[in-house]
């Protein structure tokens, strides 16, 4: 393991933001040079490549690592840093994580008041404007350890993400694809039977439509399924949508965007430090999403790691 370096390490996803990354990244590079910020750049060329690059950068001594892209890019970079810390024993608090928001999905930055403007973000880097964010550890059915920066879930939450990602692969962009995916999934998804245990206590058992998990409040291009989530408080927020009629569900859709869904009486919400989600039958072993990326299947175990990492803030 190398000695810590002071250079910033930028991991660029050239496919983010409908392929507009380079047109925005080149001026950002000039801004870095003008401000005298030492940096190196690495380009991704396949899915999860950013995780590999972040792990290698961390092993080489880089402690300032930035994702250039969207929430998916950030998720991969955080995963690489956290995986490195897990096997090396290095404290995540040694690391400074940022994102140059160029992707189509940039929900993580909202809770940290980071502007959706690459040059303004670079000014924050230059000022060393950072806060500490909680690390959230996830274990999936495959026994693999994963990490969540912002939000995750299963049921229609994960199927919305799956549909959004499929639309992105078809070249579609914009906030409308999130609403389209949400409405389509609500109308077509069946319930799954789950048992949820929060901090050792069963909080729900039976059929439900969705479970949302939050270290931060925003997901799906501005939805707030867990509006009280705070990435600094050491607590995980959750929301369960039990089996209810479509007639009761649809009027509450606006509440997903205005931050009042927990007041609706149609959902079960709460806060905890650890949560287990277990399917009650084989058909309910649904897909899960973390930061908008499909990342395995149920059962799922998620906990506040107790450690923190420095993240850029506005």
Q: List C-alpha distances in Å: 241 to 43, 64, 209, 227, 298.
A: 40, 39, 5, 15, 17
pLDDT category, 181, cuts 50, 70, 90?
Answer: confident
Q: Rounded CA gap, 109 and 114, in Å?
A: 5
- Residue 175 pLDDT: 62
Q: Which position has the higher pLDDT, 180 or 301?
A: 301
Q: What percent of the chain has pLDDT over 90?
A: 69
Specify whether the CB–CB gap between 161 and 150 falls below 8 A: no
Query: Distances in Å between the alpha carbon of 168 and those of 15, 28, 119?
Result: 11, 25, 25
Average pLDDT of the chain?
Answer: 90
- Does residue 244 carry a pLDDT above 90? no
pLDDT score of 169: 66
Residue range 11-57, pLDDT digits in tens: 998 776 555 677 788 889 999 999 999 999 999 998 899 999 999 99
Quick one: average pLDDT of 256-264? Answer: 91
Q: Could you tell me the fold of the domain covering 145-306? A: Tumour Suppressor Smad4 (2.60.200)
Task: Report the pLDDT averaged over residues 194-210.
Answer: 97
Q: Spell out where 5-122 has E strands.
A: 5-12, 39-43, 62-69, 96-101
Check residue 291 and give its pLDDT. 93
Q: What is the pLDDT of residues 131-143, one digit of tens each?
A: 999 999 999 887 8
pLDDT of amino acid 3: 77
Predicted local distance difference test score (pLDDT) of residue 257: 87
Please tell me the least confidently modeled range out of 67-71, 154-158, 257-261, 283-287. 154-158
pLDDT at residue 180 above 80?
no
What do you get for the CA distance between the two ends of the chain, in Å?
32
Q: State the residue for tokens 């507009």.
A: 20
CA distance 261 to 141: 29
d(CA 108, CA 215): 10
Can you give the pTM of this predicted structure?
Answer: 0.92
| Domain boundaries, given as residue ranges, for the chain | 5-128, 145-306
pLDDT score recorded for residue 85: 97
Please give the CATH number for the structural domain made up of 5-128. Answer: 3.40.50.10330
Instruction: Give the separation between CA 87 and CA 99, rounded to whole angstroms.
Output: 24
- pLDDT single digits (tens) 76-127: 999 999 999 999 999 999 999 999 998 666 899 999 999 999 999 999 999 9
Q: Are 168 and 47 in contact (CB under 8 A)?
A: no
Report cis status (omega within 30 of 0) of the bond before 299.
Answer: yes
């Amino acid at each position: 393991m190398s000695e810590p370096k002071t250079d910033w390490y930028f991991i660029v996803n050239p496919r983010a933001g409908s392929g507009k990354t380079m047109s925005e990244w080149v001026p950002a590079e000039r801004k870095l040079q003008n401000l005298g910020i030492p940096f190196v750049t690495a380009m991704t060329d396949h899915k999860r490549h950013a995780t590999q690059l972040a792990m290698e950068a961390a092993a080489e001594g880089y402690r300032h690592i930035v994702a250039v892209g969207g929430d998916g890019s950030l998720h991969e970079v955080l995963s690489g840093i956290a995986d490195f810390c897990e096997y090396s024993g290095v404290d995540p608090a040694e690391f400074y994580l940022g994102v140059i928001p160029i992707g189509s999905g940039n929900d993580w930055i909202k809770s940290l008041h980071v502007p959706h403007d690459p040059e303004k973000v670079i000014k924050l880097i230059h000022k060393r404007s950072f806060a500490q964010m909680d690390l959230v550890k996830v274990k999936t059915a495959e026994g693999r350890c994963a990490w969540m920066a912002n939000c995750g879930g299963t049921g229609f939450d994960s199927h919305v993400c799956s549909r959004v990602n499929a639309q992105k692969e078809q070249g579609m962009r914009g906030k409308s694809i999130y609403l389209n995916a949400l409405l389509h999934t609500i109308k077509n998804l069946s319930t799954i039977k789950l048992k949820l245990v929060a901090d050792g206590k069963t909080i729900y058992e039976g059929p439900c439509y969705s479970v949302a998990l939050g270290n931060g409040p925003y997901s799906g291009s501005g939805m707030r399924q867990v509006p009280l989530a705070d990435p600094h408080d050491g607590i995980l927020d959750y929301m369960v949508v039990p089996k209810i009629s479509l007639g009761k569900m649809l009027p509450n859709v606006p509440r997903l965007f205005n931050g009042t869904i927990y007041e609706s009486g149609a959902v079960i919400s709460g806060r905890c430090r650890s949560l287990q989600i277990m399917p009650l039958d084989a058909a309910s072993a649904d897909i899960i999403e973390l930061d908008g990326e499909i990342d395995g299947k149920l059962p799922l175990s998620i906990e506040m790691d107790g450690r923190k990492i420095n993240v850029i803030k506005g």
